[in-house]
Every structure is written in C-alpha cells, then in structure tokens.
C-alpha cells in the first residue's frame, strides 16, 4: 500500500510540475507579430508585442498611428494617439477600451452569451483551440487561441460583413519592457468635462436673482433668471411655453458655489416646441441650486417637484424601491467615499429574485465609482416589482424614482 501511495504521489507531483511548467510558459510567453483587422473595404494594420499578461498594439489607420497598451494584471488600458502627444488611461472593461481592443472585445461579448470549445485547428502555423460565442442560438464570434502561446491569434466577428483580426509572422523572442511604457513627453489626457466651468456672462448678477420654490407658474422674458434651491429626495420638472409665435430658448442649469456644473451647450432647451419638459435629478452633493435662464423669447415657465427616494447607503447595506407598472426607473449614484465604491442592482418579483436572462448580466448591473463625488446616472427598465441595490464597497448617495416620460 505504501508503495502505491508513494507511486501515486510521485505521479501527482510530476503532473503538478508539468502543469506548472505549462502555466509558466503561458505567463511568460513573449512574441511579436504582424496584426491586421479587416471588415469589408475597411482595414488597419500594425504590430503587436506580447509579454506575459501585457501586450502592446501599434496600429495605423488613415495615416494616424495609435498605440494601445494593455496590462491585464492591473486591468488597465492606455490609449495613445501619437500625433496628439497624450494618453488616456482606462479600466480594461471600459467601453472605449473594449471598442479599441479586439481581445477585450471578445471577452466582453463572451460575458453576454455562451462560449464553447468546438475543437482544434492550425492558424499561422500554431495549433489552436477554437471557441465560439453564441447568443440565442446564433454564432456571434469565433476565436482561435494558440495552445503554445496561450494567446488569441485570430478572432472573427460574424457580422455583415465579417470583421477579422489575425496575427501573422509570429516570432517568439524577448520583448523590451519599454514597449509597455508611455512614450516620454506624453501627457495624460484630462476630460474637459471634469474641469471647472467659468460662469457665463449672463450669470454674473445671479446672486440678485429671485429664489422661487415649486410648484409655480411664472412669466419670463429674455434675460430673466430664476433660482431654485435643491431639495433632498426631490427632482425638478420644468417646462416652458412660448407666449408668442416666435422661437423661445430657455434652459435650467445646475450651479454649485456660483459655477455651472457644465457649459450651457450641455443642456436642452425646455421651451422648444414638442418638448414636454426637462427633468433635473442632480443631488445636493453635486449642486446648490437650479438656475433657469431665458436666452430669447417670452415664456410661461411651469415648475414642479418630482418626489424621489434618496438614501446614503454604506458597504453591506441595501436600498430598495418597490414599484408597480412598467414606467422606467431613474437611478443616480454619487460616490461619498474618497476611494472606490461599488453597488450591485438586483430585481425581485413577489419577493423572489429574477433570473439573469431576464435582468441582464451582472456587469451591466454593477456600478463602480472610483473617485470622490463621481456620479453615475441612467434610466433603467422596471423589471419585476422591486429594485434592490446593495453597496458592496464604500458609501454612496443613491437616488431613485419612477416616472412616465409623457407626463408632466
């Protein structure tokens, strides 16, 4: 018996050692290759450099050189448009990253459907495992992964026309670490929407403008300003009707500390014909007041509060909204932590959780906010009879409300 145990143990150790070598080879695989993407008459080409869990794609499209560096261990993507001398840092699953990277695009699609191994084939001289992603019975994408390199060397998206990414002239050789570093002298891109906005010329006298509290109706002319202080647990609804046959332009803009949150052009004209109303769901963390300004024309402005559900919810806590009917649910999340906050949205019907095929994959129901006061807002379908939000990490201010898009 002892001999059998020892023999079995030796086999296990040998197998483990072999598996370790295989995994080590996959993790330390280093190679370069030519890379092409083709869809109908559109194409782009370049080089790819792979070193373990990092890869760098240098592509040329319409004469422009683009470098994309992906660090799978750190879950980061760096998009570098060379002519602009700057770079953008993204989470690896950010949609901009997914759209720029066929390898992450495949992983993203796999999370939406069913992936299965359908055998082995040789591509570019390498033995590959072949995988197919199907959604509702239709083949969406196919991928060939080199057994030796443990890296995809061909991906086909089965559209009309098909989009094909393929690696060729693969050369196994050491890759310089400098390939995975931002070129010297390049600056990090800053989203202009995150920069402070200077008050427009018309807002210089805003402190003397009247403060009004909904509900109200008020006649306004070009140059008139009204201020409405934000109230927790409420959103603002406002519409404007022109008092003449001429065009009228009026906007409601959130202000904080005397500055608009965004430029005027970001906001819609609520006095335009055919527009029922404008809704502003900003919270008291984001803004102090809503400022109504008439750019041209004469209008009758009507303002109302829309009652919302609002709660500060910390890690491990839940916030629930029970509803009836199929009206959409407006959701707004504000990060109250200095670091990352994460929340997951689930749906129940008669107290029972709904299945993923009815409410969508987890990734679409996960809210991640990385920076203090960062905001995520969206309109969601009222699945089931109850929305349950659980904060998995950090702390959030959560605001929820159901509304009919065609009612004021």
Which pLDDT belongs to residue 176?
95
Which pLDDT belongs to residue 2?
37
Residue range 301-332, pLDDT digits in tens: 999 999 999 999 999 999 999 987 778 899 99
Length of the chain in residues, anyone?
A: 408
**Residues 211 and 229 sit within 8 Å (Cβ to Cβ):** yes
How many other β-carbons are positioned within 10 Å of the β-carbon of residue 355? 8
Which pLDDT belongs to residue 17?
32
Helix, strand, or coil (residue 34):
strand
Whether residue 145 is found in the same domain as residue 180: yes
Widest CA span in the chain: 100
Which pLDDT belongs to residue 14?
32
Which pLDDT belongs to residue 289?
96
Write the DSSP assignment of 114-180 as a string of letters. EEEEEEEEEETTEEEEEEEEEETTEEEEEEEEETTTTEEEEEEE-SSS-EEEEEEEEEE----GGGG
For the chain, residues with pLDDT lower than 50 are 1-26
Which pLDDT belongs to residue 31?
96
Whether residue 88 is found in the same domain as residue 236: no
Q: What sign for the dihedral angle of Cα 191, 195, 200, 203? A: positive
Whether residue 229 is found in the same domain as residue 284: yes
Which pLDDT belongs to residue 28?
67
Asked if residue 8 belongs to a domain, the reply is no
The CATH number of residue 330's host domain is 2.60.120.380
Which domain-ending residue is among 272, 288, 307?
307
Residue range 337-360, pLDDT digits in tens: 999 999 999 999 999 999 888 888
Per the structure, the count of domains in the chain is: 3
Which domain-ending residue is among 261, 291, 307?
307
Residue 135's alpha-carbon distances to 141, 164, 200, 212, 272, in angstroms, are 10, 19, 50, 53, 42
The CATH number of residue 77's host domain is 2.50.20.10
Q: Between the CA atoms of 294, 295, 297 and 302, what dihedral angle is there, to the nearest 10 degrees?
A: -20
Distance CA 247, CA 285 (A): 35
Which domain-ending residue is among 154, 189, 224?
189
Whether residue 300 is found in the same domain as residue 313: no
Closest CA to 56 of 72, 41, 42: 72
Whether residue 86 is found in the same domain as residue 166: yes
Which pLDDT belongs to residue 29?
85
Whether residue 124 is found in the same domain as residue 84: yes
Asked if residue 173 belongs to a domain, the reply is yes
Asked if residue 4 belongs to a domain, the reply is no
Whether residue 334 is found in the same domain as residue 257: no
Closest CA to 26 of 172, 133, 190: 172
Long-range contacts of 156-161 (CB under 8 A, 24+ apart): 157/105, 159/39, 161/39, 161/40
Distance CA 149, CA 24 (A): 11
Element (H, E) at 6: helix 2-27
Which pLDDT belongs to residue 101?
93
Domain limits at 297?
201-307
Whether residue 295 is found in the same domain as residue 328: no
Edge-first strand listing for the sheet containing 234-242: 216-221, 298-307, 234-242, 278-280
Which pLDDT belongs to residue 13?
33
Q: In 3-state terms, the chain is what percent helix, strand and coil (to 5)? A: 15, 50, 35
Q: How far is CA 130 from the centre of its chain?
A: 29
């Amino acid at each position: 018996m002892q001999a059998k145990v020892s023999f079995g143990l030796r086999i296990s150790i040998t197998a483990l050692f072999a598996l370790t070598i295989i995994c080590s080879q996959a993790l330390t695989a280093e190679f370069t290759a030519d890379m092409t993407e083709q869809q109908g008459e559109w194409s782009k080409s370049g080089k790819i450099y792979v070193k373990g869990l990092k890869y760098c794609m240098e592509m040329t499209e319409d004469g422009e050189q683009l470098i994309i560096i992906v660090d799978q261990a750190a879950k980061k993507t760096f998009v570098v448009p060379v002519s602009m001398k700057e770079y953008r840092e993204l989470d690896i699953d950010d949609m901009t990253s997914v759209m720029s990277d066929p390898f992450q695009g495949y992983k993203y699609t796999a999370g939406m459907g069913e992936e299965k191994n359908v055998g082995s084939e040789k591509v570019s001289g390498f033995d590959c495992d072949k995988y197919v992603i199907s959604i509702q019975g239709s083949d969406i994408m196919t991928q060939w992964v080199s057994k030796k390199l443990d890296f995809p060397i061909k991906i086909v998206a089965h559209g009309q026309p098909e989009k094909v990414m393929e690696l060729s002239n693969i050369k196994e050789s050491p890759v310089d670490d400098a390939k995975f570093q931002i070129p010297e002298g390049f600056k990090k891109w800053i989203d202009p929407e995150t920069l402070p906005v200077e008050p427009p010329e018309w807002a210089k006298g805003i402190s003397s403008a009247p403060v009004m509290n909904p509900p109200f109706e008020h006649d306004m002319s070009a140059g008139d300003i009204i201020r409405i202080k934000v109230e927790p647990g409420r959103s603002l609804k406002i519409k404007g009707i022109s008092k003449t046959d001429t065009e009228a332009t009026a906007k409601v803009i959130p202000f904080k500390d005397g500055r608009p949150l965004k430029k005027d052009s970001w906001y819609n004209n609520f006095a335009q014909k055919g527009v029922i109303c404008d809704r502003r769901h900003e919270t008291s963390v984001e803004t102090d007041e809503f400022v109504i300004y008439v750019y041209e024309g004469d209008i009758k402005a009507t303002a109302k509060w829309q009652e919302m559900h609002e709660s500060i919810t910390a890690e491990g806590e839940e916030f629930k909204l029970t509803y009836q009917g199929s009206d959409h649910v407006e959701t707004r999340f504000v990060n109250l932590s200095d670091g990352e906050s994460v929340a997951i949205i689930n749906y129940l019907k008669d107290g029972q959780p709904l299945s993923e095929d009815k409410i969508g994959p987890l990734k679409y129901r996960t809210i991640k906010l990385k920076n203090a006061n960062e905001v995520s807002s969206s309109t969601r379908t009222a699945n089931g009879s109850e929305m349950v939000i659980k904060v998995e990490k950090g702390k959030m201010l959560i605001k929820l409300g159901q509304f009919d898009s065609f009612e004021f």
